Amino acid sequence: MHKQYQVPFDAPSADGQPSWRSPHHADGAPYGTDTTGVRGDDTIVQDVGRPDSTGHPLNLPYPGCPPIQAVERFFRNYATFSGRASRSEFWWAMLLMGVAEAALGAFGAASDISVFGIMQNVLSLALLVPSLTVSVRRLHDINLNGAWLIPFAGLTALGSVLAFMGAMAAVFVLFLVPDVVEQGFDFILLGAVITAVAGIAYAVCMAWPSNPAGARFDKSR
């Protein structure tokens, strides 16, 4: 003989539907999916770090990031090497910062007012650290370690040094020692080639599509 028992969760709710929910669809979403929902009096929220003004976590990539938000994320992640950055937030920030520097340089050259040159130098120094960090986060987004930025920077520096040395050699002995002048121009050409190769490789990496495996570099903040 079997005796049936009435248990509380078998009672219908106010809308006439059973009050229980399938464990495979917790909070109305498929089982195993990270969601934000409410179960009883407890709110379930995924820990994704600090958000920007639009609510997107600063430590996660923001695909299709608008220009204003890209600049915001650029400065709010000023010295943050962890996390990832999407292509749009990288390129918009770098483009707008480059335009600002170029504008200050143009104003300084056109007006002969030294304050514009000073402002350009100060801005360049202020943008150095966030430019490095957003580059590292962009590398993370394509699933590359941020250490890959070292050879890019090293090759760029090497090329610049070679070009500078060649220019100095060509200027100081111009038309006096033809062999040295020729070697100076060779150094300039070699430095330019190395710098160009490093710049192209860097640009290709920064434009590479996102790789979901880059989530291994995420870190909640």
Residue 49 lies in a domain: no
Q: Are residues 135 and 161 in the same domain?
A: no
- Measured at the alpha carbon of residue 76, what is the angle toward residues 65 and 200, in degrees to the nearest 5? 60
pTM above 0.75, yes or no: no
Asked whether residue 52 is domain-assigned, the answer is no
Is 2 inside a domain boundary?
Answer: no
Residue 194, token pair as written in the block: 């190395």
Q: How many domains does the chain have?
A: 2
Amino acid identity for residue 163 in this structure: A
Q: What is the pLDDT of residue 152?
A: 94
The β-bridge partners of 39 are 42
**Residue 82 within any structural domain of the chain:** yes
- pLDDT score for 185: 85
Whether 83 and 99 share a structural domain: yes
Q: Is residue 170 part of a domain?
A: yes
The last residue of a domain, from among 103, 118, 141 = 141
Same structural domain, 148 and 189: yes
Which residue is listed with tokens 């089982």? Answer: 31
Residue 78 shares a structural domain with residue 130? yes
Six-digit token pair at 51? 């958000």
153 and 195 belong to one structural domain = yes
- The span from the CA of 40 to the CA of 38, in Å, is 6
Q: What is the pLDDT of residue 65?
A: 96
Please check whether residue 107 lies inside any domain of the structure.
yes
Domain termination site, one of 103, 123, 141: 141
Under 8 Å CB-to-CB from 106, ≥6 apart: which residues? none
What is the distance between the alpha carbons of residues 74 and 157, in angstroms, rounded to a whole number?
24
Residues 45, 36 contacting (CB under 8 angstroms): yes
Residue 208 is encoded by which pair of tokens? 């590479």
Q: Give the least confident one: 31-45, 147-161, 187-201, 204-218.
A: 31-45
- Whether residue 47 lies inside any domain: the answer is no
Query: Are residues 67 and 125 both part of a single domain?
Result: yes
Please indicate, yes or no, whether residues 65 and 84 belong to a single structural domain of this protein. yes
The answer to whether residues 108 and 176 belong to one domain is no
- For 93-151, what is each residue's pLDDT tens digit? 999 999 999 998 888 888 777 788 888 889 999 999 999 999 999 999 999 999 999 99
pLDDT at 78: 95
Contact 70, 130 (CB under 8 A): no
Torsion of CA 183, 188, 192, 198, to 10 degrees: 70
Better-scored residue on pLDDT, 188 or 42: 188
Query: Which residues are bridge partners to 38 per DSSP?
Result: 43
pLDDT of residue 68: 95
Q: What is the pLDDT of residues 149-160, one digit of tens each?
A: 999 999 999 999
Task: State phi, psi for 132 to the nearest 5 degrees.
Answer: -70, -45
SS3 call for 201: helix
- Whether 163 is covered by a domain: the verdict is yes
Distances (CA, A) of 143 to 59, 93, 146, 148: 15, 21, 9, 11
pLDDT at 194: 95
Q: Which of 100, 88, 152, 166 is nearest to 127 (CA)?
A: 100
Give residue-wise pLDDT tens across range 2-53.
Answer: 444 343 433 444 444 443 343 333 333 333 334 344 444 443 334 457 898 8
Looking at 141, 162, 179, the residue that finishes a domain is: 141
Residue 176's pLDDT is: 67
Range of the domain at 197: 143-212
> Which residues are registered as beta bridge partners of 43?
38
Confidence of residue 173 (pLDDT cuts 50, 70, 90): low
